[in-house]
Each structure stands twice: as C-alpha cells, then as structure tokens.
Amino acid sequence: MQIMKTHPLGTQLIHVDTTNFSVHGKYENDAPDSTDSIRITFGHAKDGRTDLKRFVLGLVTNQFGLPFFTEAFSGNESDKKSLIKMIQKTQQAINLDDNRYWIVDSALYTEDNIKLLGTDMQWITRAPETLDDIERLLDAELDFTQGTDPRYAFHVSDLNYGGVPQRAVVVWSEEKQKRDEQTFEGRSKRRRYWLKRPHEAHGHKVRMCP
C-alpha cells in the first residue's frame, strides 16, 4: 500500500475472487466457533478432492493483477458471503478511485448482496440463469446489436433486482452457439438411438426428427 502513495498503479477495475486448497490430515480439533480463526473442514471441492478437508483463500487485485487484499476463510464458507465481505473490507482499508468497477463472479449476485452494494457502487458480474428475471430475459425474443468483433453480438436491457436499478447485457457468442448446437446434436443422436432400439426389437422402424 505504501507503493500506491507514490506510484499511480490504478484502482479503476477491482477483481474479487476466491479459490480453495485441500489439505491432508484429520483436523478434528480445529478452531472453535468462539474464535476468529478459520475452520479446516469439508466444502466445495474445486480441485475435485471431495475426500479432503480444505480452506478458502480470497484475493482482491487491480486491473494489472496487483494484490490489494487477501483473507482466509473456513473450508465451507460460501462465496455469496465471502465476496461481499472482501469488498467491504477493501473499501475500508484502501483509498480507491471514485470511478471504479468491482469485477466479481456470479456468487455475488444475490438480493441481499445487491442491497448492500446499494445504488452508488459500480460493479460487473454474471447473473445466475436460475433467477426468474434472468430466465425470462434469456427466453425472450431479443434484438441483438453486432459487436466490432463479428463473433459477438449484444442486447441491453434494464432490470431492477434487490431494489437497485441495473443494466443487463446479454452476449451472443458464435463459438458458444457452435458448442450448443454440437451438444444438442449429440443428445439428439443418443435420444434417437435409445428410442429406436426397443422398437427395432419388435421388427418396427421408427424415424425420429431432431
């Protein structure tokens, strides 16, 4: 932080994220709930090792990857809670640019967190498709605007979630479109194969449309 007093390192884009690390050992007598220490325990296994206990590490950086803030959390700490905690603590510890954006993953996007962020903070995240408003938006017939890169197109819509006005940007990607079509075709072929086999066993031919 002393470097920031003499060098303009930039705090316009603040990235907030977490990861977790698995550990070997029982850790049966870790910190009791009455202390501020973290608990080594089972949680979401990002490395796939569901058999191991773990702890979570959160990190806040600027747009150049310079770390501003880090904090360890218990192994079962939810990102929905840890991300907003790190944003609040970073604001208290560092003088940031007035015109700054917080870049955070979709775990931030809960009604409680959006209310805590309020109307004055600027942030960018991905909204979970399980939310009713987002699901309706994705199911609607949208008019897309071609981007400068022809592989992408965009639709902009206004939303209000958690009592905070927001702007939603739906992004169409040519590469994702191809992947979705390949996935659909693969599932369609498996479905046709599964349906045809019982009927063919009885001497019937069945034609299926994808």
Q: What is the pLDDT of residue 208?
A: 23
Q: What is the pLDDT of residue 200?
A: 36
> Does residue 152 sit in the same domain as residue 72?
no
Determine the Cα–Cα distance for residues 157 and 169; give it in Å rounded to an integer.
6
Residue where a domain terminates, one of 126, 147, 175: 126
Which residue carries 């400068």 as its tokens?
Answer: 148
End-to-end Cα, the chain, rounded Å: 59
Residue where a domain terminates, one of 73, 106, 126: 126
Least confident of 8-17, 37-46, 51-60, 166-175: 8-17
> Does residue 14 sit in the same domain as residue 94?
yes
The CATH number linked to 1 is 3.30.420
> Does residue 113 sit in the same domain as residue 151?
no
Determine the Cα–Cα distance for residues 85 and 59; give it in Å rounded to an integer.
11
Which pLDDT band holds residue 195 (cuts at 50, 70, 90)? very low
Which carries the bigger pLDDT value, residue 185 or residue 210? 185
> Does residue 93 sit in the same domain as residue 144?
no
- 178 lies in which domain range? 128-210
DSSP 126: P
Q: What is the pLDDT of residue 4?
A: 57
> Does residue 139 sit in the same domain as residue 70?
no
Which pLDDT band holds residue 139 (cuts at 50, 70, 90)? confident
Residue 55 has pLDDT above 80, yes or no: yes
Pinpoint the alpha helices (H) of the chain. 2-6, 79-93, 111-117, 132-139, 174-200
Residue 38 has pLDDT above 70, yes or no: yes
Which residue carries 């479905």 as its tokens?
Answer: 191
Which pLDDT band holds residue 141 (cuts at 50, 70, 90)? confident
Which carries the bigger pLDDT value, residue 66 or residue 8? 66
> Does residue 151 sit in the same domain as residue 120?
no
> Does residue 112 sit in the same domain as residue 151?
no
Determine the Cα–Cα distance for residues 23 and 35; give it in Å rounded to an integer.
21
User: What does the chain come to in residues?
Assistant: 210
For 99, phi then psi, to 5°, come to -95, 75
Residue 190 has pLDDT above 60, yes or no: no
Structure tokens at 148: 């400068």
> Does residue 116 sit in the same domain as residue 142?
no
CA distances from 130 to 39, 107, 110, 124, 127 (A): 30, 12, 11, 18, 9
Could you give the number of structural domains in the chain?
2
> Does residue 99 sit in the same domain as residue 145?
no
